[in-house]
Structure 1
């Protein structure tokens, strides 16, 4: 058994995947992320960053600082050893604006490659923008809007039209660069930012649409906003704000006498705090120019974009949410075949016009079916509660926060039937979704709960026990070979499901 298989506990699916590592040498941080493999929904198994500040003085001196270089080289040497310990055979390293623009960038690359033992690709501005766009494609379905990726040295802005790259530009508006160029005077940054973005007439295409915010500084702003409203989820991916909410929050940094004393900033890493005011003003000026309807924060960026670029076309076309759920079920559920059977079996249940669903609601239902048995190893009294926490905070792509909550509630109801049990859920969590979402989750969870009384979590049973509707009845048909599965608990669970739908239950034994 290889060292990687020992660590991952991998099954047949992950045995076939060679782990891939990406080292991102940015203007502010140097980070190593190791993924299980180059797949549509890559799962990080190791993630470490060091805030080196390589780009801190490039704007004024033209060079990478000596201390920053030594910190970065030390981090790269450590990352090389970590990659070797974890059995990473596919290690990629990229460097962005600070190294690209510095006079001593070539010298740093030579020393960095010696420390790592692999080549380092210095990205052009256009290549960096392309990878940022591909990162959004990796994390969202049919991405459509303007993407902004703010780093320490530069800002990449990309126009995406349903996963099609239309325009892209790199601007010298990174947080560290602005600190350097303005001598850390935030009031001097406005003219610099406005002057840079005024030359982009195509930004007007973002009006009324979606702005995807990428980069550690903007994620820190999102975290501060979450803390300020006591938001029940702690997931950056897909966190959504309106234009007004975002502008009001960003303005606090510009108007505050001491921005670094603002409430909730203590939750941000100390080395990241100094760039927050500049990141906020870049976001504010950009949004005022664009006037998008909503701002969506993304944890998927150039590292995930690099992985996306390695995927074959058929893998890129896969749904990132379904891909993740299928992989997770293969690792954690008793039977992935049974999970797919639940998708088909509940198709019959939701064929009722009263349960009409959109295409997105259908994919969410299928995702919930795939995840429905991942908590089976937990103690029976806590399966519902643990499922909520696990699924709501999972590393999902291709889903917004309302979708996350639907998945979590569906699997909760798969384990918990009584009304009293819902009191265990956070009222704030349920308050984030509509009554329609809550009802659909309860119906789906009840259906899966009932199905397990027939299948016992194994495949090959429920495909033979279809549901149908006749007049005011929900009909469950059981083949005679499984007739003895019919019993009090089966009738109680299916009766509860029928009652939820306003139907009577009828069970038929067929030849």
Structure 2
């Protein structure tokens, strides 16, 4: 597992993002295809407030941002991080006193700060989306406090992006606090936004804290079974109706408003205005929330082409296997063992289904240290809420359910809400995979290098487990019961073949 070894040997690094609304530090365990955050801290400074009307960064906001940067410098020192990348965006580049602030920011954080232009910001946001979704295709929109960046992402290739001065704080200033006036400003600005011409019927990837807050509000209003923002999907028509609701009412009166921080609430209506107009003009199929953006884009572009092409989901679950399985490597044994079983069973499987099956195999033993009565629940909770990228919510639910069923009865799991996220086909595959894994673990005690001695294969009539005479004692009543359970799931009988 080279990715795991590389992670262990690499040094931590950090990105500091001086945005128009917040100043944020994210420290990462290492530069990998699936970077793991070590520490994440932000301060809502409101640097962009007033810039659209006065042309200046307010002294109080600048002082608050500089204090945050000094804090971040101390935190990086305590974490032993020398590799720090600092970027500043719309508020700093648009303000007349931005250059002076940037110089002070560099003194505060102790490393040079890059002032990135709008086109570059759009590109980095799109790279962040490309790094964290499986085969993304659509339009990326990054809404900050000062600006909105739009760029087309087609088959992992970036088109020319645009930057528009209609971030949440900018709209609040320009409209004098009126969402109705803000809608007209946004409409006029977006009319010339070329990327929207390519949006119809495709996906709009929403990047930025205000849009994440909107999505969290939507998620909590519908009692969604996961609390994971990355990859959350809202159908286009539904998103448009929801955005218009947020525009016209007092957001503090909305159901589930407690799920949004008080500091974010004043910008919700302006984020809704921009989203409403994007949907009205572009007619996307769906809005998909991305927790990855400029910071992840900065990391992604530092990788070699070969590393970029690696599957971030598989790399992440390999890391889980190495850290938490009782015998790292057994998960890879399961991948090969179930490959042969699936082929012999003639169960057609798409490329995406195969990668999900492999991911589930690599996660199958991460909860072995828990009490046996709670392993299913722990597997389900850890995997459903894990920091995984390159996977949608249906895939995440599949992984969680398959690994929970590995420990518990799949017919009475009490997880109806999570099951609602997967198709009947995926749910069936989760049960079949879990039944096969239940045989594998009882035969191998979860140890790597053993499973290949017990091939599992299908004929038209039976599911057969082949065992050498010297290991026939492993075929206990429990093994036979589990073999019959698996066989019933695919309409066959269970049989054990003892080699002569």
Per-residue deviation, residues 300-330 of structure 1 (Å, max 9, x unmatched): 1111111101111111001111111111211
Per-residue deviation, residues 226-250 of structure 1 (Å, max 9, x unmatched): 1111111100011011111101100
Q: Is the 8 A contact 1:372 1:414 kept in 2?
A: yes
Q: Quick one: distance in 2 between partners of 1:38 and 1:269? A: 31
Instruction: After TM superposition, give the deviation of residue 433 of structure 1 in Å.
Output: 1.9
Q: Quick one: distance in 1 between partners of 2:337 and 2:482? A: 16
What is the aligned partner in structure 2 of residue 7 from structure 1?
Answer: none
Map of 1:434-473 to 2, 5 A cutoff? 434-473=423-462
Map of 1:37-436 to 2, 5 A cutoff? 37-256=30-249, 258-352=250-344, 355-417=347-409, 419-420=411-412, 422-423=413-414, 425=415, 427-436=416-425
Per-residue deviation, residues 252-306 of structure 1 (Å, max 9, x unmatched): 12222x3443222232111111111000010010111111111110101111111
Q: Quick one: distance in 2 between partners of 1:201 and 1:128? A: 16
RMSD: 1.5
Counting matched residue pairs gives 498
Q: Quick one: distance in 1 between partners of 2:475 and 2:128? A: 50
Q: Quick one: distance in 1 between partners of 2:7 and 2:156? A: 28
Per-residue deviation, residues 7-43 of structure 1 (Å, max 9, x unmatched): xxxx855430110111111000001001111111111
Q: Quick one: distance in 1 between partners of 2:436 and 2:359? A: 15
Instruction: After TM superposition, give the deviation of residue 374 of structure 1 in Å.
Output: 0.6
Matched, 1:491 2:483: no
What is the aligned partner in structure 2 of residue 500 from structure 1?
Answer: 489
SS in 2 for 1:471: coil
Per-residue deviation, residues 33-65 of structure 1 (Å, max 9, x unmatched): 011111111111100100000000101111111
Please report the TM-score for the alignment, with normalisation by the length of structure 1: 0.95
Per-residue deviation, residues 90-146 of structure 1 (Å, max 9, x unmatched): 111111100111111111111111111111111111111111010001111221101
Please report the TM-score for the alignment, with normalisation by the length of structure 2: 0.97
What is the aligned partner in structure 1 of residue 11 from structure 2?
Answer: 18
Q: Quick one: distance in 2 between partners of 1:168 and 1:364? A: 33
SS in 2 for 1:310: coil
- Which consecutive residues of structure 2, in runs of 5 or more, have no partner in the other structure? none
Superposed structure 1 runs of 4+ greater than 4 Å apart: none
Q: Quick one: distance in 2 between partners of 1:481 and 1:85? A: 56
What is the aligned partner in structure 2 of residue 474 from structure 1?
Answer: 463
Instruction: After TM superposition, give the deviation of residue 506 of structure 1 in Å.
Output: 1.5
Q: Quick one: distance in 2 between partners of 1:105 and 1:13? A: 39
Q: Is the 8 A contact 1:417 1:446 kept in 2?
A: no
